[in-house]
Structure 1
Amino acid sequence: MTSAPAAPIATSTPALTAVVTGASSGIGRATAQRLVADGWRVLAVARRRERLEELAAETGCEVLAVDVTSDDSVAALVERAEELFDGSLNAVVHVAGGALGVEPAAEADLEKWQRMYDSNVLGAVRVTRALLPALRASGRGDLLFVTSVAGHEAYPGGSGYNAAKAGEHMLAAALRLELNGEKVRVIEIAPGMVRTEEFSLVRLGDQEAADAVYDGVEQPLTAEDCADVISYALNAPHHVNLDLVTVRPLAQAAAHRVARHQGV
């Protein structure tokens, strides 16, 4: 009597891995939450440790306090990512950055301009340079930059942020050319008006002024809307590259053109 053939051994595909910067609030936080829900292993990083610890308790993701403008801090990020992911990494999602002020260029606060450039551009370069070897090692790497329509469309009072986000846009475009032929996608997601708890407050420094940005606007985008788009881009088959996705609320036709209605 012959024995029955042995049952096949069940195997599972290893979870994809990601580093998400700017994960303490807004789009970064929503992206970390969404990727964990999608089954990814996530290392969420930002400057505010206490916010990250709340995120870790909520989602089970790994966290590390990181300042993307610091070489030493980013070196610690590389060390932690190698420890967690064995020298291989599938995605880096660049969300850290933000806007400061709305002064016209003739009245530019150069300290604010410097801080915006340091966080939005040099921070993204620093993290990319540090983690690119791990993305290459994975054989399925993604560099995803969350920029802004401000990097594509100038508007009054936006010159400093326009310049910083245009720089980040060009970084992504150059990387796509430089990495052509390698298994690393370069993706840019450029949101329009997104209502989060901190973006306009940090930019304007006043809660009343921050709330006024959205007055009369029917359904500005949420951080979760942006995380949906980021999730789609990262989870698409790896031969599909979303070079640039511009996402706005229906009420916004351009960076400076927004429909506003009384009572909304």
Structure 2
Amino acid sequence: MNTDKKIAFITGASSGFGAAIAEKFASRGYKLVLLARRLERLQALAGKLNTECHAIGCDVRESAQLSDAVANLPADFAAVDILINNAGLALGLEPAHEAEWADWQQMIETNCTAVARLTRLIAPGMVARGRGHIVMLGSVAGSYAYPGGNVYGATKAFVEQLSRNLRADLSQHGIRVTHIAPGLAGGSEFSQVRFHGDAAKAASVYAGTEPLRPADIAECVDWAVLQPQHVNINSIELMPTCQAPGPLAVYRRPQG
């Protein structure tokens, strides 16, 4: 077994941020565990990467499948050095009293429960080996509220706080934890998923802007991971130049 190459486990690796991170890590010679629902997309990606890959077709919400996938990692991929908790989604932009409960539930299961579950599965091995790096993909939505952000923003606040608490627990074991919070980002399926496949509505989100791209996020992850072992990058928040936090919402009653 080759123990010289780092092993990175990336969720949501079939497109967007996950695929870009996989490409960046492959360029550094890391061995990759690629997990996503669409196995054929993962296999196509793995075929383009100049590194060893293990592809897992799995919905992160399926706890038993996730547990089995980790328990049955091939020996050459089992000692995970870097966990990239990237899989996540937003659904809908309706106000809280009109949102679909099923959308809320899926966001909580994907963005919170699955992230916590996979971290709990991988962390003990990192502790036993005395090394590791957990990278959590959050969002500026976890810090800045906006109309329609409701549960999505709350799930990303969970990711940020879990990152802080993981640091408190794992720092004594030589494990680093980094939280990445991107702002407006294009070049992925994020908005199409949010609007249930409505391509026109998804495109309108980016009209007249130059958003972040998956490669920008991959650069941030790469930079954090490449720091010396004694350096932990706690959190990176980034937005495109065209974006900034907005004013607080103030409701004003109609006059007259």
Name the TM-score, length of structure 1 as normaliser.
0.88
Residue pair 1:92, 1:142 contacting (<8 A) in 2 also: yes
Residue pair 1:147, 1:168 contacting (<8 A) in 2 also: yes
Aligned residue among 192, 200, 205 for 1:208: 200
- Alignment partner, residue 130 of structure 1: 121
Aligned residue among 222, 227, 232 for 1:241: 232
Residue 18, structure 1, aligned to residue 8, structure 2? yes
User: Secondary structure of 1:214's match?
Assistant: coil
Residue pair 1:148, 1:165 contacting (<8 A) in 2 also: yes
Aligned residue among 36, 39, 43 for 2:33: 43
Post-superposition shift, 1:82?
5.2
- Alignment partner, residue 262 of structure 1: none
Residue pair 2:85, 2:115 contacting (<8 A) in 1 also: yes
- Alignment partner, residue 73 of structure 1: 65
**What is the rounded CA distance, in whole Å, between the counterparts of 1:248 and 1:255 in structure 2?**
13
**What is the rounded CA distance, in whole Å, between the counterparts of 1:52 and 1:255 in structure 2?**
37
- Alignment partner, residue 222 of structure 2: 231
**What is the rounded CA distance, in whole Å, between the counterparts of 1:236 and 1:185 in structure 2?**
10
Post-superposition shift, 1:255?
6.6
Post-superposition shift, 1:150?
0.5
RMSD of aligned Cα (Å): 1.8
- Alignment partner, residue 94 of structure 1: 85
Aligned residue among 162, 182, 187 for 2:178: 187
Q: What are the superposed Cα offsets for residues 203-254 of structure 1, whole Å, 9 maximum, x if unpaired?
A: 012100000000111x211001100110111111111111110011111112
After the TM superposition, which parts of structure 1 deviate over 4 Å for at least 4 consecutive aligned residues? none
Once the two structures are overlaid, the 10-residue window that deviates more, 14-23 or 133-142, is 133-142
- Alignment partner, residue 29 of structure 1: 19
Residue pair 1:89, 1:138 contacting (<8 A) in 2 also: no
**What is the rounded CA distance, in whole Å, between the counterparts of 2:212 and 2:82 in structure 1?**
24
- Alignment partner, residue 244 of structure 2: 253
**What is the rounded CA distance, in whole Å, between the counterparts of 1:82 and 1:254 in structure 2?**
45
Residue pair 2:167, 2:176 contacting (<8 A) in 1 also: yes
User: Secondary structure of 2:60's match?
Assistant: coil
Residue 198, structure 1, aligned to residue 189, structure 2? yes
Residue pair 1:192, 1:255 contacting (<8 A) in 2 also: no
**What is the rounded CA distance, in whole Å, between the counterparts of 1:64 and 1:111 in structure 2?**
26
**What is the rounded CA distance, in whole Å, between the counterparts of 1:76 and 1:124 in structure 2?**
16
Query: Given residue 243 of structure 1, which amino acid in structure 2 is its aligned partner?
Result: N
Could you list the runs of 5+ residues in structure 2 that have no partner in the other structure? 249-256
Residue pair 1:191, 1:246 contacting (<8 A) in 2 also: yes
Query: Given residue 217 of structure 2, which amino acid in structure 1 is its aligned partner?
Result: C
The structure with more radius of gyration:
1
Residue pair 2:131, 2:173 contacting (<8 A) in 1 also: no
Q: What are the superposed Cα offsets for residues 39-91 of structure 1, whole Å, 9 maximum, x if unpaired?
A: 21111111111110111111142211122111221122213435233x42211
Post-superposition shift, 1:256?
7.9
Give aligned-pair identity as a percent.
38
Query: Given residue 158 of structure 2, which amino acid in structure 1 is its aligned partner?
Result: G
**What is the rounded CA distance, in whole Å, between the counterparts of 2:28 and 2:127 in structure 1?**
22
Post-superposition shift, 1:92?
0.4
**What is the rounded CA distance, in whole Å, between the counterparts of 1:238 and 1:42 in structure 2?**
20
Name the TM-score, length of structure 2 as normaliser.
0.90
**What is the rounded CA distance, in whole Å, between the counterparts of 2:189 and 2:63 in structure 1?**
26
- Alignment partner, residue 254 of structure 2: none
**What is the rounded CA distance, in whole Å, between the counterparts of 2:140 and 2:98 in structure 1?**
23
